[in-house]
């Protein structure tokens, strides 16, 4: 996919992408790297992360891998501490790590519901808070982009994820208010169905039914998400905060297809 941005747009900037070792997160990291940024990719699976980091370096990108479990406050604090010890300042945080499983609401155990809220909502909050403190320490502005899900019309078959991600959209607005005085812009991107390996765990028939309902009848590409995120982090979006950009072929109008 053609990159519409200037190749030195993020020169001198460092971007931290959670879940940057795979799928959409890796595409986001690669895109920022291609536009001149140093990228830090962070997730749990070290083997996958190192492989992803190597692929970025082979493409000439300055990339660093670090471990984090965003559900664990100590792990999040440790990530930021390691960066600060190495003298690495983060300018842009992309909260991409997340996920869920499909299950009817009546079948969800309390622990299953809690684990998805914990990952997607609490984990995102912990990363945002640690980043805002990091910006305060540096006395520099910052930018947060939260990757959510298209959940505007409800998310049948994924009640936990819909609730958690709607929570992140509201959190995005609230943090935009609270941290405006720190010069931190906070926005979200809500992708619809995006072609990544992670989709293998969903019912292909249900996915196709969703695509058939769309106004733009195809899956989105990770690179399309990456370019939207780059736009929101760029000076061109300097007047934008507290928004959620739908990147979903119209799914926010047509409604989600029930997952089974
Ligand atoms: C259209 C699609 C668009 C979206 C695409 C994407 O998002 S792509 C991205 C796609 N990538 C991903 O989605 C990957 C991300 N997924 C994950 O990281 C994890 O699976 C997790 C956060 C969902 C749970 O993490 P965890 O370490 O806390 O897991 P744990 O093992 O400790 O279980 C906790 C509770 O959850 C329950 N439970 C778990 N799985 C299932 C299931 N399949 N079924 C039913 N229940 C399930 C489990 O039984 C337990 O409850 P119990 O028995 O004690 O009452
Ligand atoms: N593909 C799609 O259609 C859509 C995806 N999304 C969202 O976009 C994001 C990326 O999705 P995609 O690339 O497709 O799927 P992936 O499963 O490849 O990405 C999820 C990433 O999150 C990381 N992650 C999960 N749990 C944790 C944790 N506790 N701490 C740190 N990192 C964690 C994973 O790495 P590791 O396991 O190594 O920790 C992985 O890299 C997810 O939030 C997903 O829900 C939203 C809409 C649609």
In a domain, 250, yes or no: yes
From ligand 1's centre to the CA of 100, what distance in Å? 5
Q: Which ligand is nearest to the CA of 247?
A: 2
Distance (Å, whole) CA 185 – CA 231:
13
Residue 71 phi/psi, 5° resolution?
Answer: -80, -10
Cβ(80)–Cβ(134) below 8 Å:
yes
Cβ(191)–Cβ(149) below 8 Å:
yes
The pLDDT value given to residue 231: 98
In a domain, 4, yes or no: no
Pick the residue whose CA is nearest to atom 26 on ligand 1: 115
In a domain, 86, yes or no: yes
Per-residue pLDDT of the chain (260 residues; tens, 9 = 90+): 888 899 999 999 999 999 999 999 999 999 999 999 999 999 999 999 999 999 999 999 999 999 999 999 999 999 999 999 999 999 999 999 999 999 999 999 999 999 999 999 999 999 999 999 999 999 999 999 999 998 888 999 999 999 999 999 999 999 999 999 999 999 999 999 999 999 999 999 999 999 999 999 999 999 999 999 999 999 999 999 999 999 999 999 998 777 87
| Ligand 2 near 46 CB (within 6 A) | no
Structurally, the chain folds into a number of domains equal to: 1
Which residue carries 């945002």 as its tokens? 128
The Cα diameter of the chain in Å comes to 50
The pLDDT value given to residue 256: 77
From ligand 1's centre to the CA of 73, what distance in Å? 20
The pLDDT value given to residue 31: 98
What are the distances in angstroms from CA 161 to CA 55, 165, 186, 189, 230?
31, 6, 21, 15, 25
Residue 195 phi/psi, 5° resolution?
Answer: -70, 95
Ligand 1 atom closest to 119 (CA): 22
In a domain, 1, yes or no: no
ipTM over 0.85: yes
In a domain, 176, yes or no: yes
In a domain, 6, yes or no: no
Distance (Å, whole) CA 8 – CA 237:
17
In a domain, 131, yes or no: yes
From ligand 2's centre to the CA of 191, what distance in Å? 12
In a domain, 80, yes or no: yes
Question: Ligand 1 pocket by C-beta < 6 Å: which residues?
Answer: 99-101, 103, 109, 111-112, 115-116, 119, 149, 193, 198, 202, 259
Pick the residue whose CA is nearest to atom 18 on ligand 1: 99
CATH number at residue 40: 3.40.50.720
Domain residues for the domain of 74 are 14-254
Ligand 2 atom closest to 75 (CA): 30
Ligand 2 atom closest to 49 (CA): 38
Starting at the edge strand that comes first in sequence, how are the strands of the sheet with 92-95 ordered? 63-67, 38-43, 14-18, 92-95, 142-147, 184-191, 244-247
How far from each other are the two terminal CA atoms of the chain, in whole angstroms?
A: 32
- pTM exceeding 0.95: yes
From ligand 2's centre to the CA of 14, what distance in Å? 21
| Ligand 2 near 43 CB (within 6 A) | yes
């Amino acid at each position: 996919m053609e990159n519409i941005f200037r190749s030195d747009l993020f020169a001198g900037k460092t971007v931290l992408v959670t879940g940057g070792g795979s799928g959409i997160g890796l595409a986001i990291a690669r895109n920022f790297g291609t536009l001149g940024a140093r990228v830090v990719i962070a997730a749990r699976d070290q083997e996958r992360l190192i492989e992803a980091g190597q692929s970025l370096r082979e493409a000439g990108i300055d990339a660093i891998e670090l471990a984090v479990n965003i559900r664990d406050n100590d792990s999040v604090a440790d990530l930021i501490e390691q960066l600060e010890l190495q003298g690495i300042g983060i300018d842009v945080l992309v909260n991409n790590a997340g996920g869920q499983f499909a299950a009817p609401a009546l079948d969800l155990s309390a622990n299953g519901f809690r684990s998805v809220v914990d990952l997607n909502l609490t984990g995102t909050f912990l990363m945002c808070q640690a980043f805002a403190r990091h910006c305060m320490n540096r006395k520099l502005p910052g930018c947060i982009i939260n990757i959510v899900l298209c959940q505007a019309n409800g998310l049948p078959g994924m009640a936990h994820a819909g609730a958690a991600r709607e929570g992140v959209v509201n959190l995005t607005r609230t943090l935009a208010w609270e941290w405006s005085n720190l010069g931190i812009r906070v926005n979200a991107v809500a992708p619809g169905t995006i072609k990544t390996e992670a989709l293998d765990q969903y019912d292909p028939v249900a996915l196709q039914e969703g695509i058939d309902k769309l106004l733009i009848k195809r899956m989105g590409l990770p690179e399309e998400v990456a370019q939207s995120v780059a736009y929101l982090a760029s000076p061109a979006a300097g007047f934008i905060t507290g928004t959620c950009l739908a990147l979903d072929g119209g799914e926010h109008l047509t409604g989600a297809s029930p997952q089974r």
